[in-house]
Chains A and B, each alone.
Chain A
Amino acid sequence: MSEQVSARKKEKIYDPRRYRSNMPNPACAGCGSPIVCGMIMSALEELDVIDKAIVVVGVGCTGMAFFGTKIDMAFCAHGSSPSVAAGIKHANYDDAIVFTIQGDGDCAAIGAGYLVNSAARADKITVFMCNNVNYGTTGGQMAPTTLLDQVTTTTPGGRDSQSHGFPLHVPEMLSTIQGVSYSARGSVSSAANYQRTKKYAKRAIQKQIDGEGLGFLEVLSACPVNWHMTPGDAAKWIDDTVMKEYPLGEFTNGQTRK
C-alpha cells in the first residue's frame, strides 16, 4: 500500500464527519437508525465507493439521518425504493453504488412486492432494512415484523397470529430467491453486534461492487419511544427478546446464477 493511499484511508477512518452536513440529527434518543446510517457511511468509505454512492430513502424515520449526509439522495414513494434504486442504477449504466435504506414497514409490508421482484430480477442494488418491530414514524402501530403478543397501538391486546398474522422473516425469505447474492441479519444493540453487522454491511455492498444480484441486510434497531423503554432497556430487549424471533447471521453469501 502506497503512503498516499494509506494516508487517504486514515483520513477517512478518523474523520467520520467528512460527509456529514450541519443538519441536526432528527432521531429520538436511543433510536437505532442514525447508528445504521453512520455504519453504512463508514462501510462505503472503507470500500472506497462513497463518491459513487446514491442512497434511496424510503418513507419512515429510518432514512432521515441520511438527510444530513453529503451524498446523492432520492426520497421516493412509500415502499418503492428498490424500483427507484434499480432505475437510478440503469440510468447510470451500472456506474454507481445504489442502495436503499428502509424500515420494516416500508420494506416488508407496503414494499414487499417491490422487494421480492427486485430480488428476483437480480437488480444490482443493496437494500438495508431497519427492523424496529413497529411503525415508528406514525406512533407505534403493528408492523409485519411485530412479535407475537407484542402490544402496539393497533394490537392493544398483543399481536395474535390468527387476527394479525405472523412475524415476517425477510432475509430468510430472500435467501430462497436466486437473484439474491447476499442476505443477512445484524443488530446495532451493542458494540460487538455493531462490529459484526458492519462486516455484513461491507459484504452486502461488496456484492454490488462485484456486479452480483441484490444484496440485503436487515438490522435490528431500537425504537425506545414507541416501545416505552429507556434506550438502555430497549437495547437489552433486542438482545434478550427480539433476537429469539430474529436470529443474527448470514443466510445467503454467494454469487447469483448467471
Chain B
Amino acid sequence: MKRKLTGFAALAALAIMAQAGTAAAQDCAVKVGVVYPTSIDWGKPIAATALWVTDMINEAGGIDGCKFEAVLRDDQSDPKVGVDAAKALVDLDKVQLLLGTVASGVTIPMLTSVTAPAGVMQMSCCSSSNRLTQIAAEGTTKGLWFRTFATSNVQASVAAILARDSGYKTISILYKNDDWGQDIAKLAAAAFEAAGVTVVGSTAITDGQPSYRAEVTEALGAKADAVYMAIYPKEGISVVREWLSLGGTQNIIGTNSLKSDEFKEAVGMRYLANFQGTDTSTPRTDSATAFVDAYTAQFGAAPSGPGLPNSFDAAAIALLAYAAAGKDAKGADIAAKVPMVTDPAGEKIGGTVEGFTKALALLKEGKSVSYQGGTGAVVFDANGDVSAPAVAWAFGDSGIEEKRYIPLEEVGAFMDSMAK
C-alpha cells in the first residue's frame, strides 16, 4: 500500500513537471478555465466543442502573440464538485475567464461563491434557470456573467406577442404546478402586461388529479378573451376538454410542451382551430448551417446533443473578448469587451479560423465586430441573457404546422420593450 502511494506521488510529481514543461515551452500561455460535466455522456461533446474553439482561435492568432490554454475540469453535474473545480481554477490557475457549466444548480453556486467574488468572468453555454437572471439583476454578478442559452422568457415573450397580435385584451393563465410551470407563468404574466394584455387570473394545475373541474371553473370565472396554457399533454387533455365544455374560449395559446399528437387527437382538431403554440427555434441563418457543417467535419457526426452551438458561441465570444482585452486583462476588462464582439453594427464575422483571424485583427484596431455563430447573431442583455428566435405553431390536419418564424431581432426588441 505504502509503495503504491509513493508510486502515485511520483506520478503526480512527474505530471506536474510535465505540465510545467509545456508551460515553459509556450512561455506566455493564457489560461482559461473550462468546467463542464465531462463524465456525463452529453457533457463530453459540449466540452470538446469549447476546446475545439480554443484551438481555432489559437490558430487564428491567439492573444497578444500568446496561446490560450484551456484548463478543463469536470463538474460531474454536482454543485460541490463544480465549486471545487472553479475554486481550483481561480485560486491555483489564476484564470480570469471561466467557461461553464450546464446545470443551473451547479452554475449558480460557482458564480455566486467563486467567480463573481473573485472578479472572474463566467460564461455558460447551457444554464437556463431564470434564477440566474434574478441574481444578475440583483447585481451579485457585477456584470461578469453571461450565457448563450435562452431562458423560458423567450417563449413567454412570444406568447405575449401572439396575444397582442391576435387582439386579445384579457388573458387567463393555467400553469403546471412545478418549477418550470411556475417560472414560465410568472414570466408570461409580466410579458402579457408589457404587451398590453391584462392577466385576469392565474391558476395552478397539479398533475395526477382525478378532476380539474374546480381549477377550470376558477379560471373561467375571470371571463378572459383568451387562455394561456403552460401545461403538459397528460393533464392538458382533461383541462382543455373541461375548459371547452364549460364554454371557455377556444382562443388558446400554449407552450411547446403541448406539441403533441395525442393532445391534438384527444381534444379534437375542430376545437383547436384558434390554438396557437410557441416554441424556441434554432436560427434560420447561414451561420447556424455553417456551424453544423463545420462540426460534422470536425467530429465526424452532426451536432445532435443539447447545447453544442451554445457551447461553441460561448467559447468563441468569451475568447474573442479576452483577446480584445489583452493578455493581462482582468475579468471585468474581458466582460467590458463582450459588447464589441457582439455589436450588431460591427462587421459580420463567422465562426471559422478565417473569421476569427479577421475578428482578432479588427478588434486590435479597436473596431467592433458582429459575431455570427451557431446560435445566430448573439446579443446579451444587461443580465447576460440572450434571446433566441422563436416559432409560432398550430395544429393542422397532418400534424403540427409552423405558422410563423419570429426572428431573434423581433423577440429581442419585444424583450427590450418589456425591460423599459
The judgment on whether A and B are partners is: no
Interface residues of A (CB under 8 A from B): none
Interface residues of B (CB under 8 A from A): none
